């Protein structure tokens, strides 16, 4: 954003500036490209986990943690940010908060991996569609954020969608609700912790790495580890888990610096939409009338929420998103 000096008093009448030639692509357009890349990559995550579906979910999670830490440490070193990450470890309150977020994100990752390998991508997509509404509710309950009338209607409609899944589809969407609530709580605690995204994720994976290494070593001693014992291609895919985890995160942080939070809110639906389309069109998961009624309620709730958010953004002066790098 360009800032014009306003301290000098003009000594002659102000003349309108001459028309300028077209500007190069704006920061906002670049931000949209980064956000689309981030949410688009998250949207095709199930494809990767389908490729490693023969590996137990816990072993996939362990590799995701370890290789993510390796990749993130390389990034921190390249950006001269390692000292900042180490300083977080000396802040007891922040460390406790990150300990809680570590548990939440680890179980969220594990359940998502499990869902993909057990043909439950459709229910996982439902969870991430519900997530924005859960975040609104958590903000109301814990941050004393005011719940506007249409936001209340959206949350109630989402609850109706959960009821439809239970009654019409014959299954309580426990997996979807856990994914939504755990990620909502993760976002809430990370907001309270006020730790930049890259450093925070590095600390979280660092806290999990001893457990992940211990698990993998135990599996190797027992002769049950897939890594190194199976095909070379499968081992390489497991090593890529770190890059696959961190790349969309970096694209997201670049987008967050350039876009309004309301714009990010709209684009975030790309990820569960990708999950939904993959589940129905690529993986052949059943989509019944019960599922249709459930998703119709959730999509209607998101439409109400999005329109209300857009109106609120128009009434509020533009605010630069927090720096995440």
Residue with structure tokens 């986990």? 49
Average pLDDT in the chain: 83
pLDDT tops 50 at residue 30: yes
Q: What is the pLDDT of residue 3?
A: 41
Please give the Cα distance from 280 to 299 (Å, whole number). Answer: 16
Q: 203: pLDDT confidence band, cut at 50, 70 and 90?
A: very high
Residue with structure tokens 């359940």? 111
Please give the Cα distance from 237 to 248 (Å, whole number). Answer: 17
Q: What is the pLDDT of residue 165?
A: 81
CB 279 within 8 A of CB 129: no
| Three-state DSSP state, 294 | helix
Handedness of CA 99, 221, 244, 247 (dihedral sign): positive
Please give the Cα distance from 154 to 148 (Å, whole number). Answer: 10
CB 74 within 8 A of CB 84: no
Q: What is the mean pLDDT of residues 230-243?
A: 89
pLDDT tops 80 at residue 239: yes
295's tokens: 């998703």
20's tokens: 């300028």
| Three-state DSSP state, 140 | helix
Alpha helices by DSSP H, 227-285? 232-239, 241-256, 261-267, 270-277
Q: What is the mean pLDDT of residues 12-39?
A: 64
Q: 107: pLDDT confidence band, cut at 50, 70 and 90?
A: very high
**b vs e for 62-79, b when ≥16 Cβ sit within 10 Å of the residue's Cβ?**
bbbbbbbbebbbeebeee
Residue 170 CB-density burial (10 A; 0-12 exposed, 13-18 middle, 19+ buried)? exposed
**Which are the contacts of 286, defined by CB distance < 8 A and separation ≥ 6?**
none
For residue 267, CA distances in Å to 28, 86, 164, 211, 217 come to 13, 33, 26, 35, 40
Q: 44: pLDDT confidence band, cut at 50, 70 and 90?
A: very high
222's tokens: 């027992």
Residue with structure tokens 């890259």? 198
At 132-152, the pLDDT tens digits run 888 888 888 887 878 788 888
CB 117 within 8 A of CB 57: yes
Residues in the chain: 325
Q: What is the mean pLDDT of residues 43-59?
A: 93
Alpha helices by DSSP H, the chain? 27-43, 45-51, 57-78, 82-88, 92-117, 121-142, 149-167, 174-193, 197-221, 232-239, 241-256, 261-267, 270-277, 289-315
- Higher-pLDDT residue of 131 and 211 is 211
pLDDT tops 60 at residue 199: yes
- Higher-pLDDT residue of 259 and 109 is 109
At 253-292, the pLDDT tens digits run 788 777 776 677 778 889 999 999 999 999 999 998 888 9
Q: What is the pLDDT of residue 112?
A: 95
Please give the Cα distance from 129 to 282 (Å, whole number). Answer: 19
Q: What is the pLDDT of residue 118?
A: 93
């Amino acid at each position: 954003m360009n800032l014009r000096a306003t301290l000098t008093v003009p000594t002659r009448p102000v003349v309108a500036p001459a028309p300028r030639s077209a500007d190069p692509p704006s920061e906002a357009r670049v931000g949209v490209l980064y956000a689309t890349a981030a949410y688009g990559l998250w949207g095709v995550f199930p494809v990767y986990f389908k490729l490693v579906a023969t590996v137990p979910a816990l072993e996939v999670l362990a590799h995701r943690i370890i290789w993510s830490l390796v990749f993130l440490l390389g990034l921190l070193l390249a950006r001269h940010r390692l000292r900042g990450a180490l300083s977080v470890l000396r802040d007891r309150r922040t460390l406790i908060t990150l300990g809680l977020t570590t548990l939440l994100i680890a179980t969220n990752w594990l359940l998502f991996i499990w869902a993909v390998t057990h043909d439950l991508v459709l229910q996982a997509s439902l969870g991430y569609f519900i997530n924005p509404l859960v975040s609104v509710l958590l903000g109301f309950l814990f941050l004393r954020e005011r719940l506007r009338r249409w936001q209340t209607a959206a949350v109630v409609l989402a609850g109706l969608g959960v009821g439809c899944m239970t009654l019409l589809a014959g299954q309580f969407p426990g997996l979807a609700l856990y994914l939504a609530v755990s990620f909502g709580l993760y976002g809430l605690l990370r907001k309270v912790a006020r730790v930049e995204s890259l450093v925070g994720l590095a600390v979280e994976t660092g806290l999990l790495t001893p457990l992940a290494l211990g698990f993998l070593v135990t599996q190797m001693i027992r002769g049950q580890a897939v890594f190194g014992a199976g095909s070379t291609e499968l081992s390489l895919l497991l090593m890529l888990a770190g890059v696959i985890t961190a790349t969309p995160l970096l694209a997201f942080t670049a987008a967050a610096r350039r876009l309004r939070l309301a714009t990010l809110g709209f684009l975030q639906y790309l990820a569960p939409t990708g999950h939904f389309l993959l589940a129905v069109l690529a993986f052949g998961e059943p989509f019944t009338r019960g599922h249709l009624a459930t998703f119709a309620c959730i999509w209607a709730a998101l439409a109400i929420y999005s329109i209300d958010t857009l109106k609120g953004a128009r009434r509020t002066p533009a605010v630069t998103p927090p720096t995440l790098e």
